[in-house]
Structure 1
Amino acid sequence: MESVRLLILYLAVPSLLFSALQQLLSWRKKSKASKAGLPGPKQFPVIGRVHDLDRFCMWKKFKEWADKHGPIYRTSMLGQQFIIISDEHIAEELLVKRGNIYAGRPQIRALFDHKTSPGYLALMDRQDYWKEQRKWVHAAMTDFHRHHFYGVIENEVKRYLVVLMLEPEKFHANTREHCGRIMSRLAWDDASQGKENGDSADRTLTQMSVSGPVVNTMTPLWSIPWALNPWKKFERAREDQQRAWWLNSLQVAKQRYLRGELPVDTWSYRYFKGIQAKGNPNLEQDHATEEFASCMLGFQNLVGVITICGPLQFFLMAMMLHPEWQRTAQDEIDRVCGNRMPTTADFADLPTVRACLKETLRWRSGVPLGVPHQCEQDDEFMGEKIAKGTIVLACEWSMNRVASRYPDPENFHPDRYLEKSWPTYQEPLTRYPNFREGVGMHTFGWGRRTCMGQHIVDDEMFVTGAAVLWGFNLSQKTCPKTGKVMELDSEATNAHVILEPLPFPCDFKPRSVERVAQMLNGYGDVRDQLRV
């Protein structure tokens, strides 16, 4: 094993040296240019400014630099130019008003062909696959939201409550599976794939992240010959397995559709019905077309897991750490819902619950760096030339800590959405706050790359969060040996581009014997409709 490692190192050294020489020449050329333009941290030859960046919490250093250099600044890493934005208005100017220039995606080295193939909608460059998939997904999400996802979320939440009651110590994994079940049910009518959906999403997210494979930061290592390249071998096997699973799920759904067995409240039914409407009654498709459709539904599934399971876990943490807001939200739920579990029909009457959810995503950003944009042609802003290929990051962590917009930003304040004295207050409270519109929408990205899942985030976060507070009291665990409260780091995460908190201890206690019976009865009412 040691000899293999040494061989890999020796093979990597020439490309590393060549890359370093290129960057040194580039740095020398730029050092002669005018220093006017955007500010930024001091740059060093070849490496730029990478040596003091922690790839497991890079957003904190970006916030530190924003405090020193201002709401927009320039930096570089191993020759790659970056512009970091910490101001909503500047981000809107570049990424929305000039969205046609800044809608590219940078290359993620540990993935194959994500910019041009049909497998990764959110990571593609703008091309025909991207346009067709985005158009279909947007229409499908909008249509299903009009029906509040046909009660699928409420049914799965009833199961989730019983799972929390029976296995409270496994709430991290079970929350991810809960999100995976909802998406798999909506896509293929097969919620039993929820665990695989959640685990597959996590594996993919690891590959996408700076904190994942080392080749995402030391990119020359990707050029090591295939026979000796463990990163390429791993990714080829992972992606092939994922693509095969997505394709098989689509083909099974197709056969059920042709037999008249596939429910109408699935995205695959909607897709097949659309194919028939175009004059293809038997759904005869070549492999490339089937793969395109399976990736479209599969990646939609994946994103629906990773964008919700982390925020839900942070919400549970927030309620545990802020019992005063937990009680306030529970009082509101009890007043409105009484002995029944909350549903989407209660949305307008539970503004405190919505405020606690909204504040969770501000307090602990799910995408703290923002998803990167890449400049697709030369541009100029504030007297600064921005070259094609520059990566632009709208740093969510920093934006959520602008004190003029979010006073006392480090602390959890749901009242910033409920009281007129706060800058983020909006009326009417029957509508605001929410995840579909209004303040703080930068959580879902910018311009042509805005996430299309706001509607399902709104419904799923609301119903799941409200139902947990309806059924349980959440509190910090105490050590059985010392009796002391078990402390936790509320900022400890898996460091992926879309975060989950690291496992933390939390007590879930049913609020009463009556609530236990109500939760069990609720699950019993829908159990036959679920694949458990």
Structure 2
Amino acid sequence: METSNLTLLILYLAIPSLLISAVQQILSWRKKSSLVGGSSGGKVNKFPGPRQFPVVGRIHDLPRFSLWLKFKEWADEFGPIYTTSVPDATFIILSDEKIAEELLVKRGHIYSGRPQIRSLIGHKEGVVYSALMDRHDTWKLQRKWAHAAMAAAYKNHFYGHVESEMRRFLVMILFDPDRFLDHTREYCGRVMSRLAWDDATQGRLNGDSADKTLHCMSVSGPITNTMTPLWSLPAAINPWYKYEVQREAELRQWWLGLFRKAKERMRKGELPSDTWAYRYFEQVMQDTAPATPDTARTPGPDVRNAEKAPSTAATEEVYEKKDTLDQPEKDETFASCMIGFLNLVGVVTISGPLKFFQMAMALHPEWQRKAQAEIDEVCGDRMPTIKDFEKLPTLRACLKETVRWRSGVPLGVPHQAERDDEYMGVKIKKGDNCFGLSINRNPQKYPDPETYNPARYLDPSYPTFQAPLTRYPNFREGSSMHSFGWGRRTCLGQNIVDDEMFVFGAALLWAFDVAPKICPVTGKQVPIDSQKTNSHVILEPVGFQLGFKVREGKRGLVLENGKEFFGKV
């Protein structure tokens, strides 16, 4: 059967689901109208927003790519809080920091759920995607463990893995600069794979797997994330469901295989103590490792419409007595996904900002020169390390401004209301989804917001300036932290972002001058479109080229520093 005929058949098969959704929506409206008229006859308050059409809301003019640009356009028209909808979902868009703090932080006990991503199987229930679960026992156990593991690693500045992998990265740029985008993602993947399992060879696969996962959870991914009734098609004729079943099974099997390989190394005394796997296995032997809660549900053959785990109240952590490293498979799956997802998130949240940073330095050579002058004065002929943090505020300002200027999460990860609420006299229903949008573009806090200007964090005349400069700016605290989320769903990775981005930025500018690529035919600079990105939930720039010129006196130092990696994968 031709592809066009198959697509037409699928759409026709989806019509009954669409009709059912339409009838349900109409009945819901009639019920609301009856209740309002019967109770007080008054008009229901509601947030402003674009006109909503029956059943479809505004799905017809919501782009699957660069969705945040449309949301920003409406924010400029309708104000700092407005609402819109698509089939099966209502969106409340927040573009004011104070409103976002009020709802997502001060009322975090209400707005800490996660919306259903239709094409990501069973993510709200667990155990695979910690950051995308609802707040139930599985989420609490995994988040608590991940928070403690990340904090312990930060105390040791991630055991030197960031600097070590940066030495390798510089050699890769020296010999293969045209693939800098691939090298950047692999660098992030290798750092996280070292921390998780002491296996940096998984770095490239780690990055590719993270990219596939992001695709499946994004509006720009499977069409079933927007045309949600299509997800209800029978599994036998549902290509999106078949693909996701296979992809997730492969992901979980890969994580479980790495987990078991690390366990065997632990048994032999070969697993380094600076890995998260070691930390977990040590807890297993001490009878303190978190085990799978009774409420946890592992996705089965068909869980597309599974309800979330029934318990969302705080419960005691479940522990099982272990005299050895032997565990039931359900606990191995629980732990391997806990470590695996922490590892995956560390790739997708850092790779994009590092690529944007390289772009920013090429487009703003005046700030590149300022940062390099500072690095040269402090470091001389040695590669910068995290110990130089306090003495390089200009570099840190360039990094901080990069994340503001080209945010990797312009829509944030949405929060879902876990119960009914009211704000400014408007009812917010359980299940409504709240987005923190374009807050880094507020002209009152960020004057001339479209301009890349690291002085915002260095000059006391700017509202974002904080002292002392030996401490600020950073990615752990202070102003402009909204890229890490809000309230109880704040990202746990600020510390590793702070270390990894600092060392990357400082070492790169220490070794290389970064500029737009020169076309070998015309001799002119190849234009860079700083707005061209993928459209994942977490963005990365795509399709741009850079030129890297090793700085005077640095070639030999780069080779000497990276010699430990010669001949290695």
- Flag whether TM exceeds 0.5 (same fold): yes
Task: Output the amino acid matched with 1:90.
Answer: I
- What does the per-residue CA deviation read over 1:442-475, in whole Å, with 9 as the maximum and x for residues that have no partner? 1100111000011000000110111111110011
- Structure 1 residues 36 and 265, CA, compared in 2 at 3 Å: closer, same or farther? same
Equivalent residue number for residue 192 of structure 1: 201
- Match of 2:133? 124
**1:495 corresponds to:** 535
% identity of equivalent residues: 62
**How far apart are the structure 2 equivalents of 1:220 and 1:247?**
33
Cross-structure match for 1:6: 8
Q: Is 1:97 paired with 2:99? A: no
Change (3 A) 1:287 1:79: closer
In the alignment, what sits opposite 1:468? Answer: 508
**Corresponding position of 2:69:** 60
What amino acid is the match of 2:286?
A: A
Partner of 2:322: 280
**Structure 2: which 5+ residue stretches go unaligned?**
37-42, 288-320
Asked if structure 1 preserves the Cα contact closer than 8 Å seen for 2:45 and 2:427, the reply is no
Are 1:350 and 2:352 matched, yes or no?
A: no
Match of residue 332, structure 1, among 374, 388, 403 = 374
- The answer for the alignment partner of 2:462 in structure 1 is 422
CA shift for structure 1 position 531: 5.5
Distance 1:242 1:503 in 2: 27
Mean Cα deviation higher: 233-242 or 8-17: 8-17
**Pairing partner for 2:343 from 294, 297, 301:** 301
CA deviation map 1:215-258 (0-9, x unaligned): 00001111111111110110011111110110010000001011
Superposed, which structure 2 residues align to 1:27-38 within 5 Å? 27=29, 34=43, 36-38=45-47
1:124–1:130: 8 Å Cα contact kept in structure 2? yes
Contact 1:118 1:296 in 2 (8 A): yes
In structure 1, C-alpha distance between the alignment counterparts of 2:145 and 2:12, rounded to whole Å? 48
CA distance in 1, matches of 2:543, 2:182: 9
1:512-531 map, 5 Å: 512=552, 514-524=553-563, 526-527=564-565
> Is 1:437 matched with 2:446?
no
Does the CA contact (< 8 Å) of 1:190 and 1:531 recur in 2?
Answer: no
Shift of 1:66: 1.4
Alpha-carbon contact 1:187-1:266 (below 8 Å) kept: yes
What is the aligned residue count? 527
Matches within 5 A, 1:15-164: 15-27=17-29, 34=43, 36-164=45-173
| Partners of 2:161 and 2:194 within 8 A in 1 | yes
1:301 match: secondary structure? helix
**Distance between the aligned counterparts of 2:358 and 2:26, measured in 1?**
48
Q: Secondary structure at the match of 1:51?
A: helix
Residue of 417, 420, 425 corresponding to 1:375: 417
216, 226, 234: which one aligns with 1:217: 226
Following TM superposition, by how much is the alpha carbon of 1:28 offset from its aligned partner in structure 2, in angstroms?
A: 6.0
Give the equivalent residue in structure 2 for 1:173. 182
SS of the equivalent of 1:165 reads helix
Deviations 1:404-456 (A, max 9, x none): 00000001000000000100000000000000000011110011100001100
CA distance in structure 2 between the partners assigned to 1:281 and 1:517 by the alignment? 52
RMSD: 1.5
Of the structure 1 ranges 303-312 and 52-61, higher mean CA displacement relative to structure 2 is found in 52-61
8 A contact 2:87–2:228 mirrored in 1: no
User: What SS does structure 2 have at the residue aligned with 1:400?
Assistant: helix
CA distance in 1, matches of 2:66, 2:262: 41
Structure 1 gap ranges (5+): none
Partner of 1:410: 450
TM-score (norm 1): 0.97
Contact 2:130–2:142 (CA under 8 A) maintained in structure 1: yes
Read off the aligned partner of 1:340 and give its amino acid letter.
Answer: R
Contact 1:66–1:73, Cα closer than 8 Å, also in 2? yes
C-alpha distance in 2, partners of 1:194/1:31?
Answer: 56
Structure 1 pair 80/31, CA: closer, same or farther in 2 (3 Å)? farther
